[in-house]
Amino acid sequence: MASGPDRLAPDHMLTVGAALPLLPIAATFGYYGLPDSFRELLLVQFAPQVLAYIVLGLWATRATQVTIQLGLEKEKIRSGLQWGILTGLFLGSLNTFVILAVYPHLGYDITFLKQTPHGRLPVLLMVPWLICGIALFVEVNFRGFLLGRLAKLELHWWGTDSRPRPALLALAVSSLTFAFDPFLVNTFQHLHWIALWDGLIWGTIWLRTRNLWITIVAHAIEVIILYSAVKATIG
């Protein structure tokens, strides 16, 4: 039986790997403490995402069974497509109604969406290529990596002798980080709150199924519906 530092090494590596997402989380919320002149810089808005993908890469180079830890096993693709399509259709329809009917009824402007980077790009480039690519990278980052590592860290804090607990803190933190991503907030303004319940739903699905294909497909289908409906309505 190993003893001393060698015995503690696995727990130490688990904690370090799970703690990596704390860096982009700190960068995300630290952004809102910056002076307005810095917050307007596109490079500063993108900084938390860039940092997130850097630490994701660092983790992936040292972790074992990366696809399993992310929830990207091949045998999960079929169920991922089935449940992802259903979830995406539901959220896409719900959020389309919220954006096109509820927000304008409450006096919020949505015509600014025409001036966003997404609104300016050609439809044939956005649908489905860019939307699917964005869904893949965002879900790998926010659900597979960030939520997954936070859930491990939360479990580690509770201790191995504790009964299994839902990773509610990890879910809340990852969802808030997703919804308050600086680029997302600056691009979609008051509509960024929709990302909060999306994050909670996608995060809950991932925690219960450990199938990232579901959230990737759901994310892509939802955004395709939203983008197409908004484009058709406001141009």
CB-based contact 198:220 (threshold 8 Å): no
pLDDT at 163 (0 to 100): 58
* HEC assignment per residue over 83-144: HHHHHHHHHHHHHHHHHHHHHHHCCCCCHHHHHCHHHHCCHHHHHHHHHHHHHHHHHHHHHH
Q: What are phi and psi of 221, to 5 degrees?
A: -60, -45
pLDDT at 230 (0 to 100): 95
What are the structure tokens assigned to 101, written together? Answer: 């009917």
pTM of the model: 0.90
pLDDT at 155 (0 to 100): 81
Average pLDDT value for residue range 173-200: 96
Encoded amino acid at 159, one letter: G
Average pLDDT value for residue range 110-134: 94
Average pLDDT value for residue range 150-176: 81
Average pLDDT value for residue range 202-219: 97
What span, in angstroms and rounded, lies between the C-alpha atoms of 166 and 168? 6
What span, in angstroms and rounded, lies between the C-alpha atoms of 50 and 72? 22
CB-based contact 56:25 (threshold 8 Å): no
pLDDT at 194 (0 to 100): 96
Angle at CA 180, nearest 5°, toward 110 and 219?
A: 70
Average pLDDT value for residue range 227-233: 95
159 pLDDT above the threshold of 80: no
What span, in angstroms and rounded, lies between the C-alpha atoms of 219 and 144? 13
Question: Which residue is it, tokens 């509509």?
Answer: 191
Quote the percentage of the chain above a pLDDT of 70.
89
Task: Give me the chain's average pLDDT, please.
Answer: 90
